[in-house]
Amino acid sequence: MENVRRRSKLTIVGAGSVGATTAYACQIRGVAQTIAIYDLDGDKARAEVLDLNHGVQFTPMTEIIGGNDIEVCRDSDVIVVTAGAKQKPGQTRLDLAGVNVAMTLDLVPRLLAVSPDAIVLMVSNPCDVLTYAALKASGLPRNRVFGSGTVLDSARLRFLLAQHAGVALGNVHAYIVGEHGDSEIAVWSSANISTIPVREWSRHGGNPLTEEDLDQVHHETVHAAYEIIQGKGATWYAIGLSCTRILEAVFNDEDRVLPVSSLLTDYKGVSDVCLSVPTIVNRAGAGTPLDIPMNDDEVGDLRSSADAVRGVGRSLGL
C-alpha cells in the first residue's frame, strides 16, 4: 500500500556557525522529521550532516540530509536562510547589505522553485533588509516571508533585565522592536516584571532599576553581538535557539507572540519596510503585527529605525 503520510521538512540554507547550530538545536528538540542543510560548500554541508546524524541515537528521530544540490531543499515546509557574509569585527550589520541582498535575490526564487509552498524565515544580516528583499523576490504574501528580527535581541534584553532586577528571566516581559541592529528600541513603557512596570519595580521591594540601569541594559543589548564577535568571531548558540523557538511556533501552529520582522503597513505611521514588533506566529507564518502600547518617544524612535532600514534597501534598488 502506498504510504500517503507526509513528513514535516525543514531546510536550513547555510552550513556555517548559525546554520549548523540551528540544525543541532532543532534536532535536539525534534522540530521537524526531516532537516536538510544546503550550502554552496558541499563538503561542509555533508560534514555537518554526518556529525549531526551520529547523534540521532540521543535525540528525537530525525532524518538529516544535505549537500550543495538545491534538490535537497525540495518539498520543504519551512526554509531558514542563514547563508552569506557575516560581520567582521567592527562592521555593522548594515555593512553586509550589498552582498547579502544580491545573494537573497538570487537564492529565494531558486528555493521556492523546489518548495513552492514553503514559509521562508530570513536570519542572515541585515535581517530586516534581507526579509524585504526576500519578500519582493518571492512575490509571496507577507505572512510567508519573515525574519528572526529581534527575537534574539529581546532575549538578550530579558536576560540582562533579570540579572539587574534579581528575578527569574521567565518573569520578565520586555521587547526590543525595530531594526535587528543599531537603531533597535527597548519598549520600556510596557516592559514589566510579573505585571509590575520596570520603572516601579524597586518600589515593590526588588533591586532598583534606575534610568541609568535601563540605559545600560539597552546599550549592552545593542552591543552584545559586537562583544561576542570580537571574542570568538561570530555568534551562534542564542541565535540557533531563537530560530528553533520561531520554528516550533510555525511547525506546532502555536499562535506564539514573537518579535519577528515582517512587512509593516501603517503600523504607528510606519509602512513599506520589514521591522520587528510583537507578532503572532503560527503555521501560516507571521500574522498581523500587534498594536502594542508605546509612548511618543518610542514611536518616534521606531519611525527613525524604519527610515534607516528603508534607506539602506532603497540605496540597493529595493
Ligand X SMILES: NC(=O)c1ccc[n+]([C@@H]2O[C@H](COP(=O)([O-])OP(=O)(O)OC[C@H]3O[C@@H](n4cnc5c(N)ncnc54)[C@H](O)[C@@H]3O)[C@@H](O)[C@H]2O)c1
Could you list the residues that contact ligand X (CB under 6 A)? Answer: 13-19, 39-41, 44, 82-87, 96, 100, 103, 107, 123-125, 127, 148, 152, 180, 234-235, 239
What is the closest distance, in whole angstroms, from the C-beta atom of residue 17 to ligand X in the complex?
4
What is the closest distance, in whole angstroms, from the C-beta atom of residue 86 to ligand X in the complex?
4
Please pick, among 54, 164, 180, 219, the residue that the annotation labels catalytic: 180
What is the closest distance, in whole angstroms, from the C-beta atom of residue 246 to ligand X in the complex?
11
246 contacts 151 by C-beta, under 8 angstroms: yes
Kindly tell me which of 12 and 198 has the beta carbon lying closer to ligand X: 12
Residue number with the shortest CB distance to ligand X? 16
173 is catalytic: no
Kindly tell me which of 241 and 270 has the beta carbon lying closer to ligand X: 241
Kindly tell me which of 39 and 213 has the beta carbon lying closer to ligand X: 39
Kindly tell me which of 132 and 201 has the beta carbon lying closer to ligand X: 132
Query: Contacts from 98-101 at CB under 8 Å and sequence distance 24+?
Result: 98/316, 100/124, 100/125, 100/126, 100/129, 100/130, 101/129, 101/130, 101/133, 101/313, 101/316, 101/318
Q: For residue 211, what are the contacts with CB-CB under 8 A and spacing of at least 6?
A: none
Report which of 259, 262, 226, 255 is spatially closest to residue 242, judged by C-alpha positions.
Answer: 259
Q: For residue 224, what are the contacts with CB-CB under 8 A and spacing of at least 6?
A: 153, 156
What is the closest distance, in whole angstroms, from the C-beta atom of residue 22 to ligand X in the complex?
9
Residue 258, CB half-sphere, CA atoms under 13 Å: how many?
A: 29
**Residues designated catalytic:** 180
